[in-house]
Structure 1
Amino acid sequence: MTAALNGGPKANGNGCYHNNHRSRPELDEDLATSEQTPLLASAAIAPAQDPDVAGAICAEDEVAAAAANDKPLPKTQIFLLCYARLVEPVAFFSIFPYINQMIQHVAPGIRDADVGFYSGLIESLFSLTQMLVMLVWGRAADRVGRKPVLVASLVGVCCATSIFGMATSLWQMVLFRCLAGVFAGTIVTIRTMISEHSTPRTQARSFSFFAFAGNVGITVGPLLGGVLADPAQQYPSVFGGVRFFEAYPYALPSFAVGVVGLTAVLTSAFFVEETLVKKSKATVQEEGQRQLAKEKSTWELLKTPGVGIVLYVFAHVMLLAFAYTAIIPVFWFTSVQLGGLAFTKFQIGAFMAMTGVSQAFWLLVVFPPLQHRMGTNGVMRLCANCYPFFLGTNALLNALRRAGFDRVFWVAAPCFLAVGPGVSMSFTAVQLALNDVSPSPAMLGTLNALALTGLSGLRAFTPALFTSLFALGANTQILGGYLVWVILFLLAAGFTVASRYLPEASEKDFPTTNSAVRQGEAEVDEESR
């Protein structure tokens, strides 16, 4: 019993040490759909047979299981899903460069001092709406299939984003932004499909690509918005005199984002494979199978051992990520005396590019072998130990400039930006931990939806909260202007503590990626006794 709970082999009645107590035909069928169907199902115990025959079957089972575990990563499918993953961050961030000017264009009576309030409201509504519907999309993906939900969500985001630039009033901007948030099924479905395409050996690399695609989307979105906004003014030789773009100066970037979404719709509809395969009647004949594969309610899912702490750690690490992303551009721009680094526009752009390159290196090159060596929990705890120092070092960089050690600063700052973004590996690691703690692949969509519901809520208020804290510290010079970094240091220390309580499902010694498999094996062992 103990060995089974710890992921180790368990002897069955025939003296065979393996983790599958099913007959040969059942094993073949389950291996064919091991990434798509609930893994909780236990099968009937094979009748007693000759030890030599049993040993041969055991060997065949182990070879077959190893072959399934070593299934190569379907790179084409992962690429297509990562391309579809670009749509959500591109749609979210594309309006940032022009949102303030658009508000003044459609509502000229709004005071300049109030523009920031309305822009923050419109930006937050996307995430708030996502939070309300994320669980619905997750349930739908578990019931009707991943691909239909993905394609429908992409179509909705494509249409809602395309018409946003044609809004002629403030209420229309709010409506179209909320409508885009309603179709939030893309991100939760793509996470689930990548999980189902992956094995324990390939999931680290597949989710590294997933995280990298998100970073690309965050970069491409503002670029499209800034380059294409108000084309009649920016490019008079090309668009000057075009009445449509003079009447709707922010339609072109919206159309561009819509085109990106449309290409993702087509590639997903025609080339992406469905990963949720409904169980046949033959696989659910026994009562034990039906009971273990039964769909859990949301409350039952939350009560599953390990789910609560992983969801908390997921939210905690994303809170730190959102806070840092919101603060760092302001920190780089603010004067040294107020607690910033007083960078020029060129320096800000260069440091942002350096950060992006560093993150890509850590995610694509370092994370996969490191996760294979240390396990998901090992990487999470390593990042958690480094996170407080990563955030606290920003205050140290300002102190160097305040003290006049500019040469030391210009040596230390690039080194810091090369090494520090390594903590971004925790973003991918926590997704793997979420996959590992899922009680069943059939519930993976719902579990991802729960995690992303909290993430959307955090993204709605975190930027405004922490930029306000930065401004408060800079204006009042509380703690020498380092108020926000002290708060973030303490929050990161909380992440360090929380990482110690992650469940064992993601430890290095566990060869599978699903805690339910181990639970099911333990129950089968009890029955076999």
Structure 2
Amino acid sequence: MSESPPANGTQIRQADENTPLLAAGDVTPTADPEISEATTLNEQSPSDDPADKPLPMGQIILLCYARFIEPIAFFGIFPYINQMAEENGNLPKTDAGFYSGLIESLFSLTQMCVMMSWGKAADRVGRKPILVFSLVGVTFATVIFGMAKTIWQMILFRCIAGVFAGTIVTIRTMIAEHSTSKTQARAFSLFAFTGNIGIALGPLIGGTLANPARLYPKLFGDVQFFLDYPFALPSFAIGFIGLTSVFTSAFFVEETLKKKPSANGSANGTESGPPKPAPLSTMELLKSPGVGLALYVYGHVFLLAFAYTAIVPLFWYTPVLLGGFELTSLQMSLLMGLNGLAQSIWILLVFPPLQHRIGTTGVLRVCALAYPIFFAANPLFNAIRRGGNDTLFWALAPATLAVGCGISMSFTAVQLAINDVAPTPQVLGTLNALSMTMVSGIRAFSPVLFASLFALGARWAEKQWLGGYAIWALMVVIAAGFTVVSRYLPDYDAMKRERERLHAE
């Protein structure tokens, strides 16, 4: 007796002895249609939307925890690196800053040199192996950095940490592969929020644990090891966090790069169907629709971010008559805390619903309009303080800083844009590596360049030229360039939805 078709019109394939163990739906939802076909008995209904795949929060949380180690390891040495360089190199205090800056620049240059290799390796052998291996490497390098006894050892160990730059590239890629056009804003807001927590936690660990024999003589005063290696304890603490992330990533994080199955069920065998297209070369990837512009916008946004980060500590410290705010250490700490809190609120609470409403491109355009205004407000507040109206300054400046931190949403939005323009999931690691290579290069030179330009502007202020505002005029011009470019951005969300649709067919 023949069976009548189901009432909903869904076509059912008949299973036979060659059919693998099948489920009623896609066991592991993926953008690759061939994998989906190998793991699904029912054909996907035309009304099913691949973007409706729920966000696997357990995996996202594990990846965000693994993401901790990079900002903690990078920023954890900031409170003591000048003292460490001074003591290890027997340097005068005036030279310590040069060597600490050199160490950080070489770290970023090392990252820039190896980033592409990590991205391609993640696309070839898988995300998880690269993630775990990189976590092991950066953990080891961070631990031995604290035991460096010469300037050259500090440089060598910091560059070793830079070599293992595969963590951040791989985590970005894996979060992108776990998310869809509907869930990526939430996923990457958690990613960015975790980074902010790491940026805050790193200096806290470094500042409270460095030189423990002097800070905590009752506990460590008689421990010879900490007398010989006064900067080892914070490195050990960060290393312990790294080891826990190695464990959680090795045993609980799932691979997200899907291999093409063969006819016999093997992931690496041959199959009778049409051959899979060869992976894109780097040049072919750069020529893909939207990729070049997205990479440019990514670099432009982070140039603004790194430049502002280099300028602000000097600007807040500089005397009012030379164009600064002339704040005390306590006032600067409070404003930095406000800055971190405001950024976290914007990224975690405001960005996801705003991106859902106006899209990734819309968020980038709003931030592009806000950047010049935010930068122009700084000389305005200096003028207010120069006029002696401190009450008005303190009433307006912190509130403007908190609101202006909304531009930090551009960091997450531009990451989504990078994910959205990837022509295939198989090149997502390489594309993320390209973007991070560019950012590492920018981070290597921008702090020194913009700090020097600010110092030059302060000297001009002494001669009554431009009132110390030259640096902010330059920042407004650079930001205005981003404002202009933002008008020509494509609809990144539409590009991702189209790619999801094509790979689900």
TM-score, normalised with respect to structure 1: 0.85
Give 1:486's match in structure 2, choosing from 459, 467, 473: 473
**Match of residue 99 from structure 1:** 81
Aligned-residue RMSD, C-alpha: 2.6
The yes-or-no answer on 1:144 pairing with 2:125 is: yes
On the 8 A contact 1:127/1:457 being kept in 2, the answer is: yes
The match for 2:170 among 186, 189, 192 is: 189
Shift of 1:405: 2.1
Moved more, 497-506 or 387-396: 497-506
- Show the counterpart of 2:280: 296
Q: Which residue of 330, 335, 355 maps to 1:371?
A: 355
Q: Is the 8 A contact 2:360 2:492 kept in 1?
A: no
Report the 3-state secondary structure (helix = DSSP H, G, I; strand = E; otherwise coil) of the residue aligned with 2:45. Answer: helix
Q: What is the Cα deviation at residue 111 of structure 1?
A: 3.5
Say yes or no: does 1:325 pair with 2:325: no
Which whole-Å CA distance do the structure 1 matches of 2:467 and 2:302 have between them?
27
Say if 1:404 and 1:33 are closer, same or farther in 2 by CA, change over 3 A: same
Residues 1:382 and 1:393: Cα distance change in structure 2 (over 3 Å): same
Which of 72, 78, 101 is the matching residue for 2:60? 78
Kindly provide the amino acid, as one letter, of the partner of residue 482 in structure 1: Y
Q: What residue in structure 1 maps to residue 449 of structure 2?
A: 465
CA deviation vs aligned residue, 1:226-258 (integer Å, no higher than 9, x gap): 111111111111111211111111111111111
> By how many angstroms is 1:301 displaced?
0.5
Q: Which amino acid aligns with 2:413?
A: A
Does 2:496 align with 1:513? yes
Which structure is higher in RCO with an 8 Å CA cutoff and minimum separation 6? 1
Structure 2 vs 1, CA of residues 409 and 236 (structure 1 numbering), >3 Å: closer, same or farther? Answer: same
Contact 2:381 2:393 in 1 (8 A): yes
- Taking the aligned partners of 1:339 and 1:32, their CA distance within structure 2 comes to 61
Which stretches in structure 2 are left out of the alignment for 5+ residues? 1-12
1:399 matched to 2:383? The reply is: yes
Whether the 8 Å CA contact 1:38–1:440 is kept in 2: the answer is no
| TM-superposed deviation, 1:281 | 2.4
The 1-side partners of 2:83 and 2:233 are apart by 15
Structure-2 residue corresponding to 1:496? 483
Aligned length: 477
Taking structure 1 as reference, are residues 323 and 367 closer, same or farther at Cα in structure 2, changes over 3 Å only? same
- Residue correspondence of structure 1 range 145-184 to structure 2 within 5 A: 145-184=126-165
In structure 2, distance between residues paired with 1:505 and 1:246: 55
Measure, in 1, the Cα distance between the counterparts of 2:413 and 2:381. 28
Aligned match for 1:121, one of 67, 92, 102: 102
1:218-229 alignment to 2 at 5 Å?
Answer: 218-229=199-210
Query: 1:373-428 CA distances to partner (integer Å, 9 max, x unpaired)?
Result: 10110111011011110111111111110112222211111220221000111100
Which letter maps to 1:472?
L
- Rounded to whole Å, the distance in 2 between the matches of 1:42 and 1:80 is 25
The partner residue of 1:202 within 166, 170, 183 is 183
Q: 1:92, 1:126 within 8 Å by CA — same for their partners in 2?
A: no
Residues 188, 445 of structure 1: 8 Å contact kept: yes
SS at match of 1:503: coil
When residues 319 and 472 of structure 1 are mapped into structure 2, their CA distance, relative to the original with a 3 A threshold, is same
Structure 2 distance, partners of 1:31, 1:516, is 18
Equivalent residue, structure 2, for 1:425:
409
Contact persistence 2:35–2:258 (CA under 8 A) = no
One-letter code aligned to 2:303: L
The equivalent of 1:451 in structure 2 is 435
1:243 aligns with 2:185: no
CA contact (8 A) 2:71 2:198 kept: yes
Give the Cα–Cα distance (whole angstroms) in 1 for the partners of residues 429 and 284 of structure 2.
15
Deviation at 1:132, TM superposition (A): 0.5
Q: Structure 1 residues 285, 402: closer, same or farther in 2, change over 3 A?
A: farther
**Per-residue CA distance 1:105-158 (angstroms, 9 max, x = gap):** 1111x3433222211111111111111111111111111111111000000000
Q: Which whole-Å CA distance do the structure 2 matches of 1:488 and 1:28 have between them?
A: 57
Equivalence for 1:257: 238
2:364 pairs with one of 361, 380, 385? 380
* TM-score of the two chains, using structure 2 as the length reference: 0.89
Is the 8 Å Cα contact of residues 41 and 290 (structure 1) preserved in structure 2?
Answer: no
Q: Taking structure 1 as reference, are residues 471 and 80 closer, same or farther at Cα in structure 2, changes over 3 Å only?
A: same
CA distance, structure 1, for counterparts of residue 60 and residue 503 of structure 2: 29
8 A Cα contact 2:67 2:171, kept in partner: yes
Checking the alignment, whether the CA contact within 8 Å between 2:372 and 2:476 is kept in structure 1 is yes
Deviation sequence 1:24-64 (CA, Å, 0-9, x none): 999999955553x5579999xxxxxxxxxxxxx99x6234x
1:518–1:313 Cα change, 3 Å:
farther
What SS does the corresponding residue of 2:257 show, helix, strand or coil? Answer: coil
Query: What is the one-letter code of the residue matched to 2:393?
Result: F
Q: Which amino acid aligns with 1:90?
A: I
Alignment correspondent of 2:8: none
Instruction: Rate the CA distance shift 1:201–1:143 in 2: closer, same or farther, 3 A.
Output: same
Give the letter aligned to residue 341 of structure 2.
Answer: V
Q: Distance in 2 between matches of 1:341 and 1:312?
A: 33
Q: Distance in 1 between matches of 2:397 and 2:33?
A: 48
Percent identity for Structure 1 against Structure 2: 60
5+ residue gaps in structure 1? 1-22, 44-56, 525-529
Tell whether the 8 Å contact from 1:38 to 1:442 is kept in structure 2 after alignment.
Answer: no
Indicate the residue corresponding to 1:442 in structure 2.
426
The more displaced of 345-354 and 429-438 is: 345-354
Question: Paired residue for 1:527?
Answer: none
Task: Work out the CA distance in 2 between the residues paired with 1:454 and 1:28.
Answer: 44
- Work out whether residues 185 and 355 of structure 2, in 8 Å CA contact, stay in contact via their aligned partners in 1: yes
Cα 1:107–1:88 shift into 2, 3 Å:
same
What secondary structure is seen at the aligned counterpart in 1 of 2:327?
Answer: coil
The amino acid across from 1:473 in the alignment is G
Q: Distance in 2 between matches of 1:387 and 1:79?
A: 31
Give the Cα separation in 2 of the matches to 1:520 and 1:150. 26
Give the equivalent residue in structure 2 for 1:316: 300
Instruction: Check 1:232–1:377 CA distance in 2 against 1; reply closer, same or farther (3 A cut).
Output: same
Which residue in 2 is equivalent to 1:49? Answer: none
Are residues 520 and 254 of structure 1, via their aligned partners in 2, closer, same or farther at CA, if it must alter by over 3 Å? closer
State the alpha-carbon separation in 2 of the partners of residues 24 and 245 from structure 1.
Answer: 70
Which stretch of the first structure deviates more once superposed, 278-287 or 475-484? Answer: 278-287
What pairs up with 1:269-280 in 2 under 5 angstroms? 269-280=250-261
* Residues 241-250 or 276-285, more deviating: 276-285
